[in-house]
Each structure stands twice: as C-alpha cells, then as structure tokens.
A and B are shown apart, each in its own frame.
Chain A
Amino acid sequence: MANYSGTVKTVKGGYHARILLVKVIVYIVCILLTIMAIAPFVIMIFNASKSRFEIQQGFLEWTDKITNKTLISLLPSKSFIQNGRYLLTSDALGLPFGRGFLNSALIAFGATILSVYFSALTAYGFAVYRFKLNKLLYGFIMLIQMVPTQVTVISFVEMMNKWGLTNSYIPFILPAIAAPGTVFFLRQYMSSALSLEMVEAGRIDGCSEFGIFNRLVLPILKPGMATMAIFAVVTNWNSYLLPTLLLDKLEMSTVPMLVDKLKGNKYSVEYGAVYWGLSLTAAPLIVFYLALSKYIIAGVALGGVKE
C-alpha cells in the first residue's frame, strides 16, 4: 500500500489534496447521518418535558420577526413530572406501563431462553451425530428461514383461540423452541468452536449424551449463544402484530401494544404525555443497546456473512 501511494504521489501532484477533499466529504456525510440518527430521539426526550401548549408552539428557538412569536424551542422544559403523571395515573390515560414492561420482559426472556437452549440442542444434534436424514433435515432448516412468518399469522391465531390460549403468553414463548435462524448460526459457530474429540472424551468418562451437551458443550457455546440471545430479546420485546391479535386485556398488554394506545384518539391532545410514553418505551432499549453495542455490532457482522 505504501508503495502505491508513493508512486502516485510522483505521478499526480494533486493526490493528497484529493484524498483530503474525499475525507472532508466523508466526515460531513457521517456527521449529517449521525444527526439524522440521533435527532428524533433528542426531540422526543425534550418534548416529553414540555407542556401541551409549549409543544404546540414549536421546536427550535426561532422567533418570527413579524409576529414576535416563539415558533420553535429546543430547550427542555418543566412539565416532565406532570406529563409522566398524566400518562401513568390519570383517568384519561393511565396506561399500565409498569405491567407492560413486566409482560414484555416475561415474553422476551422466556422466548429467548427457550430459543437459545433448544437451538443449541438442535445444532449440536446436526453437528455431532451422523444420522441418515442429517443433511436433508438441515437443508430443510435452511429453506424454512426464507418462509415469511406473517403468512401463517391468521391461522396461528385461530389455532390458539381454539385451544383457549387467548390472553395467554404461551403462544409467544413456546413456539420460540423452533428458531431456524438461530440453529443455523449456532451450527456454523460449532464448526469452529467445538471439537469432536472432546465429545469422545466425555463419552469415555462415562457421561450421558445429554450430560455431555449440558456440562461440556454449553459452556463452550456461551459466546455464540449470547449473541443470538441479544437479538432474540430485542425481536421478542419489539413484537407487535401477534400480541395485538391474541391479547385484549389492558393489564396483559406488552410495551408495543401500549405504544399503539398512545396514538389513539382521546390521549392524542396531550402531546407531552405521548412523547413521555414513547421515551419510556425507548429508554430501556437505548440503555440495553449502548451497554451491549460492541457485541451487537459484531453479531450483525457475523450474522450477515452466512456463506
């Protein structure tokens, strides 16, 4: 690389100037995109602290010279506690966000534990045992990753209703046992992280097959399982369509369902409370993301390169 830039420098005089120009453009674009990514959340949090009147007035501190009216103000204001109280406890709104968080957490973590454990079990079954249908069934798992999940949503809801599982969390947690994408990822992960000699050693030591998996293999798979767990938590936490179809009791609502309530008719005048509620639903995800961003970015990079 050093040689290359050396030769070009002598051939083209403007080389350094050109690189500098490109660099300036790159940083300008990146900074603009950073603002674009963050601004909506900043506006959301500031507006959560404003009264309805202030929000109706505007956003940035732009003074209309003719009418001398403040149209836009960026600064946070004092109605934060009032908006929160209105959102959580007032007669008009009073959405049970505390329960909502508990419900979403129960679904997200329940589904994640099942999907990660059973995916590891399935991937291990494919990786270690040479049974007859191994290749065929694994090919099937690769294929079903492509099936759009929403195609079966209505029949799934109908089946759950028939089974009396309306207003139950079982339809969100139990099906997580079959997560083809996670199986695929962990199978790939095992091909580099797991050695068959270790499995053999376990057998010689008299471990049962499940004993080998639970005591020897699971600890080795932890990093890969953690990566998949992060994404499973987020996906299940954010799940919106299926809960709206299967849960109709307010106290059983998940967080995205409460967000849906925020846009509804009678609350919509209280813009501050709406922003407060949206901030409340975004906050745990932002904290979760910033704490784990290193692993999440690495996971996205790993998950994408499948071939």
Chain B
Amino acid sequence: MASTAKKRGKLEKNHWGYIFIAPFFLTYLIFQVVPLIDTFRYALTDAKAWYMDPEQAYNFVGIDQFKFVVQDQFFKDALWQTPLMWIMGFIPQLGFALLLAAWFTNEKIRVKGQGFFKVVFYMPNIMTAATIGALFLAFIRPNGFIHNFCVAIEYVKNEKYPIISPWFGRGIVAFINFWMWYGQTMIVLIAGILGINPSFFEAASIDGASGFQTFRKITLPLIRPIMLYSLVTSLIGGFQMFDVPNMFAVGDTHAVFGPAVSTIVMYIKRVAYSGTFSVGRACAASVILFAITAVCSLILFWAMRDRDAAKAAKAAKKRAKELAAMEGGNI
C-alpha cells in the first residue's frame, strides 16, 4: 500500500518536469524557431528590410532569390573563400593541437610548465575577435609593424607594399583563426588523451611499441570522437566566420583586401542592410548556408565514424539474420 502511494506521488510530481523545461522551450520557440521559419519564408519572397518597407508589402517570387544569389559573383566568391580560409586555419590548428597534446601527455618527455603553456596558448581565444581583427589590421596596413619590418629588411622599396594581396589577406584571416583556436583544441585533446584507460598504454609499452606507434595505433583511434567533435564545431563556426574578416571589410578606407576576404555571413549582412536592402535575398543565402553546414556535418560524421564499430555492427546484424534464417529453416 505504502509503496503504491509513494509511486503515485512520484507520478503526480513528474508533470513538474514540463513546468521546469517550459521557459527554455518557450524562449527557443519565439527567438529561434520563429526566425528559422521566417528565414525559409522570406527566402521565397522579395521582402525588403523592415525600415525600408514597414507595411511588409512583399510578394511570393518562388525560387528567384535563390537563382539570383547563386549567380551573384559576390556570393560565389564568399562561397569558396569562407571554407578555404577555414580549412587553411584548421589544418595547422589541428596539427599543432595534436602535436602539443601528444607531447604534454607523454610520460617520457614530462614537459614542465604545462599549466603556464596552456594558459598562454588559450589566451587569444578569450579576446574579442573584433579587437584581434582590428589589431592585425593595424599591424599589416601601410606604416604598420609588418610594413616597417619589410622596409627594415629591405624587402619593400619605397612606397610599394606588395604583400597586400588577396592571398595575403586570406592567409592572415586563416592565421588569426589558427592563432585563436589551436590552444582550445589542444586542451580538449589533452583531456581526451588523459581520459584513455592507462592500461592500454601499459600493454603497448610491454609489447615494445615506440612512442609514435603508441600514438598512431592507440591514442589517435581512441580520441577520434573528440577530434570529430572539434572538427564539426570548428566547421560550423568556420562557415559562420564574420568578426575577423569583417574588420578587413569592403567599404571603409582600409578596404585593404577588398572582397578577397568576404565571407557568407558578411554577404548576408550586406545584402540585407545595404544596397537594395533585400531581406529575401539575404534569407535565401542563409538557407544555402544552413544546407551547406548540415550536409558537411553529415559527411564528416559519416567519414569519421568508427569504421571498426560500424563493421562489427554490420557483421552482428548479418549473423543475426543468418541465425534467424537458420531458425526459420529449422522450424
């Protein structure tokens, strides 16, 4: 009796769960779901920015906005420049993070001052990206520190400053991304490696594996889920790149790199709030960004999935099927 009463009491309390999670879902619905639906809706119209057209007298235009965006040279440029700048930064980011994580967790090297190095390497990540962008802009512009350095080593003669080129611009954005993020990736990977069961390493050392072999055959496969997580979050962030390249943006006197560092989000902002104020076009570009991110994340998940586990699962399924068939035959 007592236990059923208690159970009933618990059951009655369980509806409180909905009350506790209600504020989250209500807020998410209003501020995220509604704008997401609006994005898809506006993408099919010729909507203008609200303060250009407060009556909201827009028309349904089908996929015209998508057609326009896909043929727009500025969008095409942003479409390849954004992932390129991301990948140019991400390769050294992951490379350095892996190398440092391997060193810092290696018992034979025993790096001293690890706490200090972690704090220093992570520091750029916490800074305002806009500040970092403006700082590097101050360095690279004419009469900035890099220009002066080039003059000092007599690379630059007179007024010519040849390193201000599109590829230098993309390179500097990629470098800033690398510089801001490798520390973060390193800390995450170290945490992952420290979470590996030490008996694996002991077994490897008993079998006489070298440090590199241990890293390749034990560490790397076991931190693959964490690397995948870093890769996907970095990719999602990379496609949304805005703060840093916007500091080198078009339109100001310091349009140092012109449209060479333009990204998808910069394009979206520009189309919606300058020129023709076409929210419809901006939303069409947003939908494309959404689709690209989703497809790339799925591809990464698929490509980086645990192949052995997938194989094992497949084999198990096959065996189960065979068994079922055999049993069916027996009956």
Q: Which residues on the B side are within 8 Å of A203 (C-beta)?
A: 9, 13
A115 shortest CB reach to chain B, Å: 10
Contact with A along B184-201 (1 / 0, CB 8 A): 100111111001000000
- B128/A237 in contact, CB under 8 A: yes
Q: Which residues on the B side are within 8 Å of A38 (C-beta)?
A: 120, 123
Contact with A along B112-148 (1 / 0, CB 8 A): 0101011111111011111110111111000111001
- B286/A154 in contact, CB under 8 A: yes
Closest B residue by C-beta to A20: B109
Interface residue? B219 (CB, 8 A): no
Interface residue? A43 (CB, 8 A): yes
Report which of A158, A234, A305 forms a contact with B38, defined as CB distance below 8 A: A158
Interface residue? A142 (CB, 8 A): no
Contact with A along B86-124 (1 / 0, CB 8 A): 000000000010011001000111010101011111111
B30 shortest CB reach to chain A, Å: 8
Closest B residue by C-beta to A152: B35
Report which of A47, A151, A152, A297 forms a contact with B118, defined as CB distance below 8 A: A297
Q: In the complex, what distance in Å separates the CA atom of A300 from the CA atom of B123?
A: 12
A208 shortest CB reach to chain B, Å: 10
- B286/A183 in contact, CB under 8 A: no
- B268/A118 in contact, CB under 8 A: no
- A300/B187 in contact, CB under 8 A: yes
- B109/A245 in contact, CB under 8 A: no
Q: Given A134-B17, A256-B131, is A1 in contact with B188 using a C-beta cutoff of 8 Å? A: no
Q: In the complex, what distance in Å separates the CA atom of A29 from the CA atom of B273?
A: 45
- B138/A175 in contact, CB under 8 A: no
A194 shortest CB reach to chain B, Å: 14
- A304/B109 in contact, CB under 8 A: no
A184 shortest CB reach to chain B, Å: 12
Interface residues of A in 8-64 (CB under 8 A from B): 19, 22-23, 26-27, 29-30, 33-34, 36-38, 40, 43-44, 47, 55-60, 62, 64
- B121/A37 in contact, CB under 8 A: yes
Q: In the complex, what distance in Å separates the CA atom of A147 from the CA atom of B240?
A: 11
Q: In the complex, what distance in Å separates the CA atom of A175 from the CA atom of B29?
A: 10
Q: Which residues on the B side are within 8 Å of A19 (C-beta)?
A: 108-109
B309 shortest CB reach to chain A, Å: 13
Q: Which residues on the A side are within 8 Å of B107 (C-beta)?
A: 1
- A265/B152 in contact, CB under 8 A: no
Report which of B13, B191, B279 forms a contact with A304, defined as CB distance below 8 A: B191
Interface residue? A198 (CB, 8 A): no
Interface residue? B21 (CB, 8 A): yes
- B143/A178 in contact, CB under 8 A: no
Q: In the complex, what distance in Å separates the CA atom of A263 from the CA atom of B122?
A: 26
Closest 10 CB pairs of A and B: A125-B20, A129-B17, A304-B188, A301-B191, A155-B38, A155-B35, A175-B31, A178-B28, A152-B35, A177-B27
**A residues adjacent to B (C-beta < 8 A):** 1, 4-5, 19, 22-23, 26-27, 29-30, 33-34, 36-38, 40, 43-44, 47, 55-60, 62, 64, 71-72, 118-119, 121-122, 124-126, 128-131, 133-134, 137, 141, 144, 146-159, 161-162, 174-175, 177-178, 180, 183, 203, 209, 213, 234, 237-238, 240-241, 245, 255-256, 259-260, 262-265, 268, 271, 274-275, 278, 281-282, 285-286, 288-290, 293, 296-297, 300-307
